[in-house]
C-alpha cells in the first residue's frame, strides 16, 4: 500500500485497516471516492482503492446456507408399512418425510419432501378407547348438514381415509400443505401402483 493512500485517509493504525469488516471496507471506499477529485494522481489512486476493496472482500463465514428450490430439490420415492403402527406416530413420521425435515437443505416454504407410499392401511392401530371416542366431523353444506363419524365407522368405510386424515392434519394449512398432500399415496394391502418408481423402504424408527 502506498504512502499516498495512508496519508489521504489519515489513518494512524495500519492493523485496523486490514480488519475483515464490511464497515471498514465501506469507510475506506467512501473516503477514496470523496478524495479522488482533489487528487492529481487520480488513476493510480483509483487502482489502490480497487485493490484494497478486493483484499477486504473476503467471505469470513465458515458455512453457507443453501436453500432448496423447485429446480434443485431432490425427490425420492419412499415406502412405509403401516402394519402394527400406531396411527398418530405413523402420521407424524410420514409428515416429516413429506415436508422434507429429514433433509439437510430443508426449506420451510418449498416442497422439498419426498413422495411417500403407505401400505397396509387396514392394519393400523389406535391406542386406548380412540376407536370409539375419536370422532370426525364434516358438513354437507346444507342447513343442519353436520355429520359425525367415529374412528371405527370411518375405518369401516375406508381405512385409507383414516390414515390420510391423520397425516393431512399434521401438514401446513395452506397451498404448500395441499401440494405436500398430493405427494402421499395411501393404499389398502401391500400392492401399490408405483413399482416402476422403485420406492425405498423406510424404517420409521430411524426418522427424526
Predicted pLDDT of residue 125: 95
Per-residue pLDDT of the chain (208 residues; tens, 9 = 90+): 444 444 444 444 444 444 445 545 555 555 555 554 455 455 665 666 666 666 555 556 677 778 888 888 999 999 999 999 999 999 999 999 999 999 988 999 999 999 999 999 999 999 999 999 999 999 999 999 999 999 999 999 999 999 999 999 999 999 999 999 999 999 999 999 999 999 999 999 888 7
Q: Is 69 helix (H, G, I), strand (E, B) or coil?
A: coil
Nearest to 101 by CA among 172, 182, 198, 165: 172
Q: Render 17-60 in DSSP notation, one character per residue.
A: GG---HHHHHHHHHHHHHHGGG-S-HHHHHHHHHHHHHHH----
Predicted pLDDT of residue 47: 65
**Cβ(153)–Cβ(77) below 8 Å:** no
Predicted pLDDT of residue 15: 44
* Whole-prediction pTM: 0.69
Predicted pLDDT of residue 64: 78
- The residues, ordered by sequence, that sit 6+ positions from 170 with a Cβ below 8 Å of its Cβ are 91, 92, 95
Predicted pLDDT of residue 207: 87
- Go through the domains of the chain in sequence order and give each one's CATH number: 3-56 (no CATH), 77-206 (3.90.1180.10)
Amino acid at each position: 500500500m502506498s504512502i499516498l493512500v495512508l496519508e489521504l485517509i489519515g489513518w494512524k493504525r495500519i492493523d485496523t485497516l486490514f480488519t475483515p469488516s464490511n464497515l471498514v471496507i465501506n469507510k475506506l471506499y467512501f473516503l477514496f471516492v470523496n478524495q479522488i477529485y482533489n487528487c492529481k494522481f487520480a488513476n493510480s489512486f483509483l487502482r489502490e482503492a480497487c485493490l484494497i476493496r478486493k483484499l477486504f472482500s473476503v467471505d469470513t463465514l465458515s458455512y453457507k446456507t443453501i436453500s432448496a428450490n423447485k429446480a434443485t430439490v431432490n425427490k425420492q420415492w419412499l415406502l412405509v408399512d403401516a402394519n402394527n403402527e400406531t396411527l398418530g406416530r405413523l402420521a407424524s413420521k410420514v409428515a416429516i418425510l413429506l415436508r422434507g425435515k429429514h433433509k439437510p437443505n430443508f426449506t420451510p416454504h418449498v416442497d422439498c419432501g419426498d413422495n411417500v407410499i403407505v401400505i397396509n392401511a387396514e392394519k393400523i392401530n389406535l391406542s386406548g378407547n380412540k376407536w370409539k371416542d375419536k370422532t370426525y366431523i364434516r358438513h354437507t353444506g346444507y342447513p343442519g348438514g353436520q355429520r359425525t363419524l367415529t374412528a371405527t365407522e370411518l375405518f369401516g368405510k375406508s381405512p385409507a381415509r383414516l390414515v390420510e386424515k391423520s397425516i393431512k392434519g399434521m401438514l401446513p394449512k395452506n397451498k404448500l400443505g395441499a401440494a405436500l398432500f398430493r405427494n402421499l399415496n395411501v393404499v389398502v394391502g401391500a400392492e401399490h401402483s408405483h413399482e416402476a418408481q422403485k420406492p425405498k423402504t423406510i424404517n420409521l424408527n430411524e426418522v427424526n
